[in-house]
Structure 1
Amino acid sequence: MKHNYLKLIVILFGQFLTIMDIFIINVSIPSIQQSIHASNGEMQFIIAAYLIGFASFLITGGRLGDLYGRKRTFIIGLIFFMVSSIACGISSGAAQLIISRFIQGVSAAMMAPQVLSMIQTLFPKHEERTKAMGWYGITIGIGTILGQFLGGYFSSLTVFEESWRLIFLINIPICLLAVYYSLKQLDESKMEVRQSFDTWGVFVLSAGLFGATYALTASEKEGFTVQNLLLVAISVCILIYFIKNQKDKLKKKRSYLIDFELFQYKNFNLGIIAVSFFFIMLDSYFYILSLFFQDGLKMSPLSAGEVIVFQGLGFILASVFSIKLILKYGKRALIVGLGFIIVILFLQVVFFRIQADFYLLCVLLFLHGVGVGSIIPSLANIALSGMSEKLMGNASGVYNTFQQIAAIIGIVAIGSVFYYFLGEKPLVEDYHKAFSIAVLINIFCLVFSITAVAKVPDYVLPKRKI
C-alpha cells in the first residue's frame, strides 16, 4: 500500500500542473501584454485558450486512457504539456501564445482523466480511496496558491527582461521529473478488450464542445451577441447529433467515444449534478469576488491576492481533516460542509463592505476555503465510486467536462447578473448590491448540490468508526 502512495504522488504531479497553469497567468497579464504588444481581446483569449482546449478534449483524453493505457496517455500528456510550455515561454506574439496555450490545455486534458482513473484503480477500498482523494484536494489547493504566487513572483523579477516567460518554463523540470517517475513507478492499466478508436466521434464532440466553450468564454466580455448565440445554437445541434451517433454505434457494436452505460450508475448521475451546481457557484464566486474587491472596495491587486491566499490555505487544511470526517460520518459530513459554505456566504454579504476590516476579510475567506476544501475531493469520489474499470477513463473525462463547462456557465451567467445590477456608473453601494445578489444565486446553486448529495446511496460513502 505504501508503494501505491508513491504512485499517487507521481500522478498528482499531473493534477498540480493542470491547476497551477490555470492560475499562474492571471497575475502576469500586464507584463505579458506589454512585452508582446497584445490587445485586450488577445489577452482574453490567451487566458481562455487553455480552458477551451482543456474542456474540449477531456472526454477524448479519458477514452484514450481506457483504450491505449492510462500510464501511456498520462506520459504523452506530460510530454506535450512540456513542449507546449516551452512554446509559450518563447512566444514572440499573441497568436503564437494563444495556439500554444490551447495545445497546453489539450495536453492537460490528456492527463487529468488519468489522475482520477488511476486513483480509483490504485485504491479500490473506500477508506484508502477517501484518503487518496484528500491528497487530490490538497494538490488542487497547492496548485491554486502556488500558481498565483509564482505568477506574481516571476513577473516582478528584474534580473532579466521578460521574466514572465518563467511562468511557463518552470513547467520543464516538473514535467521531466514526472515523466521519469511515471516510467519508473506506474503500472499500465486499460480495457481488457481491445477496441478501435472513434476518430469521427472525437471530431464531432470536440467541435461541439469547442464551439460552446468558445462562445460562452467570448460572451463573458462581449455579452450574448447574435454571433455568440448562433455559435451556441450550432454547438448544441452538433452535440445532439453526437449523442445520437454514439447511441447508434453502441447498438451496432461499433467503436464509440462515450459509453452511455455510465449514466446507469445512480451515484454517477448524482455526482455530476452536485459537481455541476457546485462549480457554477465556485468559479462565478471567484470571478465576482475579484471584481468586488478591486473595483468596488478599491483594493490593490496585491492586497486582493493576499486575502485570497487565505482561501487557499483553508482549502488545503480542510482537505487534510475532511478525510476523517467523511470516513466517520459519510455523506452527512458533505451536507454539513455545503451548509457551512452557505452560512459563510451569508456572512460575507453582511460584512464585505467598504469599512470591512482586513483581518475579517481574511478570516471569512479562510473559512470559505475550509468549506470548499471539504467538498471537492468527495464529489469526484461519489461520481466514480463503484465504476467498472472499463468505464473509469470515460467516467473521469465526462465528470471533468461537466465540471469545466459548469464553471464557464457560472462565470458567464452569474457574471452577467452581477454586471446588470451594477449599472453603468456604479458606486460602492452598487457593487455591494450586485455582489449580494450574485452570492444569493450561488447559495441557490448550493441547495441543488445538497439535494443531490442527500440522495446518494449510503453505501457510496459509508460511515466508518475510526
Structure 2
Amino acid sequence: MNSKYLKLLIVLSGQLLTIMDIFIINVSIPSIQKDIHASNGEMQLMISSYLIGFASFLITGGRMGDVYGRKKIFIVGLIFFMLSSVGCGISTGAGPLIIARFIQGMSAALMAPQVLSMIQILFPVHEERTKAMGWYGITIGIGTIAGQFFGGYFSSLSFMQEPWRLIFLINVPICILSVFFSMKFLNESKTPVKNAFDIWGVAALSAGLFCSTYALTMSEHQGFNLKNTALLLISGCILIYFIKNQKGKIKKNRPYLIDFKLFRYKNFNLGIWAVVFFFIMLDSYFYIVSLFFQDGLGISPLHAGEIIVFQGLGFILASLFSAKLVLKYGKNTLIGGIGLIAGVLIIQIFTFNLQTPFYLFYLLFFLHGAGVGSVIPSLANMALSGISATLVGNASGVYNTFQQVAAIIGIIAVGGVFYYFLGKQPSAQDYHYAFLMAIVINIVCLVFVAASIFMLPEHILPKSKMAKNP
C-alpha cells in the first residue's frame, strides 16, 4: 500500500471515532437511563455534553497541532479519548458519565483538526487531495451508520448485565491500534516558526464557546429561559473580548490562538458560509424527519432507523465516486449534489404521508444521502485549499467549530419553526404542514450553499487536466 494512503487510513481512524461516538449513545438511551437511574434532564445533558466539549475546544485543538506538532496532539487526543471512554464504560451514575462524555468531546476536538490538517499536508496535489477527501466523506458515512448499529447491537446483548457499557469500551482496542500505528508511521509536522501557546486565549475562547454551545443545546428542550439567555449574552461579551484581544496580540507579535489572516482567503470565507448553511440544513433535517416519521406518520423507531440507514448507504456510495466527478466537472459536481438534495426534499413534501410505501422512503433517503455524500467531502477541501502550512491547523479548527455550532443552531432554529406550525394538539395534517415549512427553510439554506460555491474561484476546485484531455 502507498505509504501516504496508509497514513490516511491511520488519521481517518480518529475521524471514525469522533463521528461514531456522536451517534452511538442515541439508541442506548433507554437502557442507560434505566440502569443508572438518570432523570430526563441528566440524559439530555449526557448526550449534549460530548458535543459541547467537542465544539468548545476545536479551535484550541487545531492551534495546539500547529504549535506542538499534529502527530503529537493527534496521539494525545487518542489516548484521552480512550481513557474517557473507559470512564464512560465504568460510570455508575449520571454525574460521572456526563463528565466523561464531556472529556470525550474535548479529546475528539484534539483529533479532528489534525485529520483535516494532515490530509492537506499529505496530499498537496489537487487530484490526490480530492480523492483523499472522498475517503474522508466515506469515513463520516461509516461512522454514522456504525454508531447507530453498534449502539443498538451492544445494548441488546443478553450475555451480560448492562451491555450498553460496551458502546464505550469498544473504543479502547481501536484507540490502542491507532496510537500504535500513529507512532510507527505518521510523520510530525508543525508551523515552521516556533510559537508559544496562548493559554489566556484558550481560556477565553473555550469559556465563550462553552457558554454559547451549552445555552443553545439546552434551549432545544428548555427554551430560551433566563439562564440560557444570560449565558448567550455572557458568551457574546467573552467572544467580542477574545477577538479584540487576539488582534492586539498579533499586532504586538505576542502568542495568539487565531490568526485572522485566515479570513483574507476568499475560498475560506466562502467555505465557512457554505458549511454553516449546509449543516443548518442537514442536522435540522434529521431532527425534523425523526419527529415527523415517529409522531406524525406513526413509523416505529426500528423502521425509522432502517430508513436512515439507506441515507447512510447513499452517502458512502456517493463519497466513493464524488472525487472522480469533482476532478472531471469541478465545482459543478457540488452544484449538482445540492440540486439533487433540493429535488429530493421537494418530492418528499408531496409524497411522505401515511400511505407512502416503504420502498419509496428507502429510495428517497438513498438519493438524499447520495446528494449529501457528493457535497460534504469537497466543502472542507474548498475551505482549506491553498491555506499555508502555518495556518492549516488553525483553519481546520475554525472550520470544524463553525460546522458544529451551525448544526446546533439548525436544530434549534428550524426545530422551533417546526414546533410553531405544529401547534399544541397536532393532527396528521399539522405534522405535514410543519414538515413542509421546515423543508422550505432547508431549501433556502441550500440556495445559500449553492451561491457560495458558485462564487468560488475556479482554481480552488479545478477540473484535472487528465479529465479535460482524456
TM-score (norm 1): 0.99
Q: Which residue of 2 aligns with 1:394?
A: 394
CA distance in 1, matches of 2:10, 2:463: 29
Q: CA deviation at 1:224?
A: 1.4
CA distance in 2, matches of 1:299, 1:340: 25
Q: CA deviation at 1:171?
A: 0.2
Q: Which residue of 2 aligns with 1:216?
A: 216
User: Structure 1 counterpart of 2:94, which letter?
Assistant: A
Q: Which residue of 2 aligns with 1:304?
A: 304
User: Structure 1 counterpart of 2:137, which letter?
Assistant: G
Q: Which residue of 2 aligns with 1:411?
A: 411
Q: Which residue of 2 aligns with 1:198?
A: 198
**Counterparts in 2 of 1:55-70, with a 5 A limit?**
55-70=55-70
State the Cα deviation string for residues 253-298 of structure 1 (Å, max 9, x = none): 0000000000000000000000000000000001011111111111
CA distance in 1, matches of 2:352, 2:178: 42
CA distance in 2, matches of 1:265, 1:105: 29
SS at match of 2:460: coil
CA distance in 1, matches of 2:347, 2:157: 38
Q: Which residue of 2 aligns with 1:85?
A: 85
User: Structure 2 counterpart of 1:348, which letter?
Assistant: Q
CA distance in 2, matches of 1:353, 1:209: 40
Q: CA deviation at 1:307?
A: 0.7
**Residue 207, structure 1, aligned to residue 207, structure 2:** yes
CA distance in 1, matches of 2:303, 2:461: 40
Q: Which residue of 1 aligns with 2:111?
A: 111
State the Cα deviation string for residues 184-209 of structure 1 (Å, max 9, x = none): 11000001111110000000000000
Q: Which residue of 2 aligns with 1:372?
A: 372
Deviates more, 1:402-411 or 1:223-232: 223-232
Q: CA deviation at 1:427?
A: 1.1
Q: Which residue of 2 aligns with 1:247?
A: 247
Q: Which residue of 1 aligns with 2:19?
A: 19
SS at match of 2:391: helix
TM-score (norm 2): 0.99
Q: CA deviation at 1:233?
A: 1.2
CA distance in 1, matches of 2:159, 2:299: 28
CA distance in 1, matches of 2:74, 2:431: 44
Q: Which residue of 2 aligns with 1:329?
A: 329
CA distance in 2, matches of 1:139, 1:276: 20
State the Cα deviation string for residues 294-329 of structure 1 (Å, max 9, x = none): 111111111110110000000000001111110001
Q: Which residue of 1 aligns with 2:238?
A: 238
CA distance in 1, matches of 2:150, 2:107: 21
Q: CA deviation at 1:225?
A: 1.3
**Residue 143, structure 1, aligned to residue 139, structure 2:** no
Q: Which residue of 2 aligns with 1:48?
A: 48
SS at match of 2:245: helix
CA distance in 1, matches of 2:268, 2:67: 21
**Residue 356, structure 1, aligned to residue 356, structure 2:** yes
User: Structure 2 counterpart of 1:35, which letter?
Assistant: D
Q: CA deviation at 1:226?
A: 2.2
User: Structure 2 counterpart of 1:318, which letter?
Assistant: A
Q: Which residue of 1 aligns with 2:439?
A: 439
CA distance in 2, matches of 1:40, 1:448: 37
CA distance in 1, matches of 2:210, 2:406: 14
User: Structure 1 counterpart of 2:349, which letter?
Assistant: V
What is the total number of aligned residue pairs between the two structures? 466
User: Structure 2 counterpart of 1:247, which letter?
Assistant: K
**Residue 181, structure 1, aligned to residue 163, structure 2:** no
Which of structure 1's runs of 4+ aligned residues deviate more than 6 A?
A: none
Q: CA deviation at 1:439?
A: 0.7
Which blocks of at least 5 consecutive residues in structure 1 are unaligned? none
CA distance in 1, matches of 2:150, 2:432: 31
CA distance in 2, matches of 1:420, 1:36: 34
Q: CA deviation at 1:354?
A: 1.1
Q: Which residue of 1 aligns with 2:315?
A: 315
User: Structure 2 counterpart of 1:135, which letter?
Assistant: W
Q: CA deviation at 1:428?
A: 1.1
CA distance in 2, matches of 1:247, 1:331: 34
CA distance in 2, matches of 1:352, 1:318: 24
Q: CA deviation at 1:403?
A: 0.2
User: Structure 2 counterpart of 1:36, which letter?
Assistant: I
Q: Which residue of 1 aligns with 2:288?
A: 288
Deviates more, 1:292-301 or 1:64-73: 292-301
CA distance in 1, matches of 2:212, 2:166: 32
Q: Which residue of 1 aligns with 2:272?
A: 272
Which blocks of at least 5 consecutive residues in structure 2 are unaligned? none
Q: Which residue of 1 aligns with 2:166?
A: 166
CA distance in 1, matches of 2:66, 2:356: 51
SS at match of 1:309: helix
SS at match of 2:256: coil
SS at match of 2:438: helix
Q: CA deviation at 1:429?
A: 1.0
User: Structure 2 counterpart of 1:231, which letter?
Assistant: L
CA distance in 2, matches of 1:325, 1:381: 14
**Residue 228, structure 1, aligned to residue 212, structure 2:** no
CA distance in 2, matches of 1:132, 1:349: 35
CA distance in 1, matches of 2:28, 2:425: 28
Q: CA deviation at 1:415?
A: 0.5
Q: CA deviation at 1:2?
A: 1.2
CA distance in 1, matches of 2:209, 2:64: 17
CA distance in 2, matches of 1:94, 1:58: 25
CA distance in 2, matches of 1:323, 1:354: 38
State the Cα deviation string for residues 1-21 of structure 1 (Å, max 9, x = none): 911000000000000000000
**Residue 10, structure 1, aligned to residue 10, structure 2:** yes
CA distance in 1, matches of 2:77, 2:349: 42
SS at match of 1:387: coil
User: Structure 2 counterpart of 1:145, which letter?
Assistant: I
**Residue 129, structure 1, aligned to residue 141, structure 2:** no
Root-mean-square deviation over aligned CA pairs: 0.7
CA distance in 2, matches of 1:32, 1:314: 31
CA distance in 2, matches of 1:80, 1:231: 28
Q: CA deviation at 1:228?
A: 1.1
User: Structure 2 counterpart of 1:113, which letter?
Assistant: P
Deviates more, 1:228-237 or 1:42-51: 228-237
CA distance in 2, matches of 1:311, 1:305: 10
Q: CA deviation at 1:159?
A: 0.7
